[in-house]
A = this chain, B = another copy of it.
């Protein structure tokens, strides 16, 4: 299911934007093209009519031909890659060739590079680094605060502009933010922006949500689009408007309808995660948290401690991966483990009760299961997981989950962590303080 973009066809000011990713490593599949995704998102936010992307290797003639081709159908081209000092960095040269233009050295850029690399001023003039200082005469330089390779803004002919960026994502992104956004807004914006607001779901699948909001998925402005990934579901509401306030007003009624329909499944918005929402709620309640992990082996703890500020509510965990440690660190009697098995509701509950005491936390979550690929049996297959949550006033919740046998080890661990965090979130919701 994808957002409807028909409303874009009304834009008059911009024939279209394209992205060209340059680098043989992309064609070999050695790296994933995250640059194209990042720039696409930025272009969406700027409200631009971006309709095509290409990827090509480090071959001067092919790059040159492709750029000529693009200049006939689009008015703005963003390139990434091929700006460095090595022989296979050919972008600027190839662009110049497309328009039969000569490159000239910018002495000030050479001084900058020498300074950045702390090179002696007597470094030979034929250094391969010098290549990065050659640009068409009338190109505007995009300075690179994170590396040596600058980019350019160049208008080789009427109605066609090229912006070049290095392939290194951190360099490209800072150059985009410091230079490109402003330039593009001034020269290519039709006065409209796209603004998005995302609702994050847990505990419900894409098909169930889509079924219930068929009407919303057909909207034109704002559009509503679901994105699902390993137990997580997001609905992105995107409005086209002349400013952020107007966009927010378009989004508001749709958001309210969704929140009403799916109240307990929506845990947060935009960049909020299950962890960050849980930490915020516990902070508000002045309650603390600790874990006893077996099959997730530290992933639950790590998911919480990724969040800055988690130390204010998270005390720590006992990763009792072996049965020996379930006994010695969590005081679970050997005969109980023998009787019920380490992967059982009984032992998960023992783990959470004892962890809560040992960690001196208000809440504790324990998890024991079989992440696979081996260790499963007919009664307890790979993918079975027991979760037990203990809290104030003798609160205990026990949860049993069996994840699909098509899930691999890491997926089962990640899905389990989601269930742990969402279950505690729902318990806290039902026990408002």
- Residue A193 lies at the interface, judged by CB distance under 8 Å to chain B: no
The reply on A216 being an interface residue by CB < 8 A is no
Question: In the bound complex, how far is the Cα of B26 from the Cα of A24, in angstroms?
Answer: 21
Contact B319 A297 (CB under 8 A): no
Nearest-Cβ distance from residue A7 to partner chain B, whole angstroms: 12
Instruction: Assess whether A425 is interfacial by the CB under 8 Å rule.
Output: no
Please state if B297 and A305 are interface contacts (CB–CB under 8 Å): yes
Q: What separation, in Å, do the CA atoms of A55 and B52 have in the docked complex?
A: 6
Residues 42-91 of A at the B interface (beta carbon under 8 Å)? 42-44, 50-59, 62, 66, 86, 88
* CB proximity to B under 8 Å, residues A271-324: 291, 293, 296-306, 308-311, 314-322, 324
Interface flag for A410 (CB, 8 Å): yes
A27 located at the interface, meaning its Cβ lies under 8 Å from any Cβ of chain B in the complex? yes
A40 contacts B28, CB within 8 Å?
yes
The 8 Å CB contact of A41, one of B29, B297, B317, B324, is B29
Give the nearest-CB partner of A17 in chain B: B27
A42: B residues at CB distance < 8 A: 29
Which one of A30-38, A92-100, A246-254, A332-340 is at the B interface?
Answer: A30-38
Whether a CB of chain B sits under 8 angstroms from the CB of A360 is: yes
| Per-position 1/0 for A142-158, Cβ under 8 A of B | 00000000000000000
**A33 to B31 CA separation, bound complex (whole angstroms):** 11
The one of B25, B29, B41 in contact with A2, judged by C-beta atoms closer than 8 angstroms, is B25
Digitize A408-420: 1 where CB-to-B-CB distance is under 8 Å, 0 elsewhere: 0110010000000
Residue ID in chain B nearest A300 by CB atoms: B298
Is B316 touching A25 in the complex (CB atoms < 8 A)? no
Q: Indicate whether A359 reaches chain B with its CB closer than 8 angstroms.
A: yes
A312: nearest residue on chain B (CB-CB)? Answer: B322
Q: Find out whether the CB atom of B225 lies under 8 angstroms from the CB atom of A25.
A: yes
Q: Are B320 and A319 in contact (CB under 8 A)?
A: no
Q: Is the CB of B31 within 8 A of A3?
A: no
A319 touches B306 (CB 8 A): no
Given A24-B5, A316-B322, decide whether A52 and B56 contact each other with a Cβ distance below 8 A.
yes
> A170 → chain B, closest Cβ, in Å?
9
Highest count of chain B CB atoms <10 Å: which of A43, A86, A293 = A293
A325-354 CB contact bits vs B (8 Å, 1 = yes)?
A: 100110000000000000000000000000
Q: Are B302 and A299 in contact (CB under 8 A)?
A: yes
A37 and B43 contact, CB distance less than 8 A: no
Nearest residue, chain B, Cβ from A35: B32
The answer to whether A322 touches B318, judged by C-beta atoms less than 8 angstroms apart, is: no
Closest 4 CB pairs of A and B: A297-B305, A298-B301, A29-B40, A29-B41
Taking A301-B321, A315-B321, A324-B360 as given, write out 5 further A-B residue pairs in contact, using a Cβ cutoff of 8 Å, ordered by the A residue number.
A27-B53, A29-B37, A30-B225, A297-B306, A314-B322
Could you list some 23 contacts between A and B, CB below 8 A? A1-B86, A5-B28, A25-B227, A26-B53, A28-B44, A28-B238, A30-B236, A33-B36, A51-B59, A297-B314, A298-B299, A298-B300, A298-B301, A298-B303, A299-B306, A305-B319, A306-B410, A306-B413, A309-B374, A314-B322, A315-B322, A324-B360, A329-B329
